Amino acid sequence: MTFLVIGESVADIVRAPGALDVAHPGGSPANVAYGLARLGHDVALLTQLGDDAMGELIRARLLPAGVRLLDDGQRDVRTPTAVVSLDAEGRASYTFDIAWTLRPSVLEEPSVLTEEPRHVHLGSIGAAAAPGAATALAIAEGLRARATVSYDPNVRPALMGGHAAALAQAERCVAAADVVKASDEDLAWLYPGEPEAAVAERWLGMGVALVLVTRGAAGAAAYTARHTVTAPAGEAAVVDTVGAGDAFMAAVLDGLDQLDQLDGRDGPHGPGPGGRRRERLSRLGAPELAELLWRATAAAAVTVSRAGARPPDAAELERALQAP
């Protein structure tokens, strides 16, 4: 497989002023997996879904898109839900009902990962909430010698416990990653009062090759040891912002794959393991970083223009990129 995504699937119950509640499939890792599949990639999602109505809602979106669903064998789980409250500008706040209990034994089950991925993505609740977060991180760390790794903290303060412990867990994930994407709101919670560029420098110093920061309507930035590149947000009439960051992440990974920057294996096209892989990513030029941001902000703009976490497929993204 090309991509393995690890983390939660959540049914988002969207609540907007003057409208009836509507349930949408969601969960940040699930959205990234869906976005990658929509862009034509081979992707598997290691997640937890119940045998319930919300679980069926999520399966009905992911499976037809081509996302392969993996689990740890537990059959007594309940599909997580989140009430997503939208304000008058479409900005979202969340109230969660979720448990993340991915078992360590999944590491020992050969039937779960029958083929190794070229890239692993983890983040959000699945990389933060005990006890399953430890398993998610261990899988990424175990595969890192042979695959590139990306991480998105996607901070949810209500589910992350105390700040010190949450920051320590986030930095363990950062240290295991080659690419880290975070929002300006994530950075403000994790490192209150610290400038964005200082956090990016901190993460680059921990071994990350590429740091990406989304700034909502103010656009996005990419940081490497050599370059800092910024881009404006894509033009869009905002319906809601649910899933915009996940669409951005999926488009970044799609772009990096097109640039032949994924895969930790040795080979004529692979960047090689460990430091050589990170060094190759860190040598991306400013034009390549600008193109990554252009594609990712366009994908986010398509997503915010419609209700729920509905990232573009490849044709929609290309149309958005060609628009004047």
Phi, psi of 86 (to 5 degrees): -100, 135
- The pLDDT score that the predictor gives to residue 264 is 59
Question: Is the CATH code 3.40.50.620 the one for domain 3-322?
Answer: no
Would you kindly state where each structural domain of the chain is located, as residue ranges? 3-322
From first to last of its 324 residues, what are the pLDDT tens digits of the chain? 689 999 999 998 888 888 888 888 999 999 999 999 999 999 999 999 999 999 999 999 999 999 999 998 888 899 999 888 888 777 778 888 899 999 987 766 665 667 789 999 999 999 999 999 999 999 999 988 889 999 999 998 888 889 999 999 999 999 999 999 999 999 999 999 999 999 999 999 999 999 999 999 899 999 999 999 999 988 888 877 788 999 999 999 999 999 989 865 544 444 444 556 777 888 999 999 999 999 999 999 999 888 777 899 999 999 999 877
- The pLDDT score that the predictor gives to residue 73 is 86
- Sorted by sequence, the CB contacts under 8 Å of residue 159 that are 6+ apart come out as 96, 98, 125, 128, 129
- The pLDDT score that the predictor gives to residue 69 is 95
- The pLDDT score that the predictor gives to residue 22 is 84
Q: Measured between alpha carbons, how far is 265 from 190 in angstroms, rounded to an integer?
A: 33
Task: Specify burial of residue 31 (Cβ count, 10 A radius: 0-12, 13-18, 19+).
Answer: buried
- Sorted by sequence, the CB contacts under 8 Å of residue 117 that are 6+ apart come out as 1, 2, 3, 4, 44, 143, 147
**Strands, DSSP E only, in the chain?**
3-6, 10-15, 22-26, 43-46, 68-70, 81-86, 92-97, 119-123, 148-152, 179-183, 210-214, 220-223, 228-231
Q: Measured between alpha carbons, how far is 130 from 99 in angstroms, rounded to an integer?
A: 9
Of 219, 226, 260, 240, residue with least CA distance to 302: 240
Q: Helix, strand or coil for residue 137?
A: helix
In the block, residue with structure tokens 């070229």: 118
- The pLDDT score that the predictor gives to residue 227 is 96
Q: Helix, strand or coil for residue 68?
A: strand
In the block, residue with structure tokens 């992440």: 249
For residue 131, cis peptide bond before it (omega within 30 degrees of 0): yes
What the block records as the tokens of 113 is 């990962």
Q: Measured between alpha carbons, how far is 249 from 185 in angstroms, rounded to an integer?
A: 16
- The pLDDT score that the predictor gives to residue 271 is 43
- The pLDDT score that the predictor gives to residue 112 is 64
Q: Measured between alpha carbons, how far is 39 from 281 in angstroms, rounded to an integer?
A: 22
Ramachandran region, residue 142 (left: φ > 0; alpha: ψ -120 to 50; beta: rest): alpha
- The pLDDT score that the predictor gives to residue 83 is 87
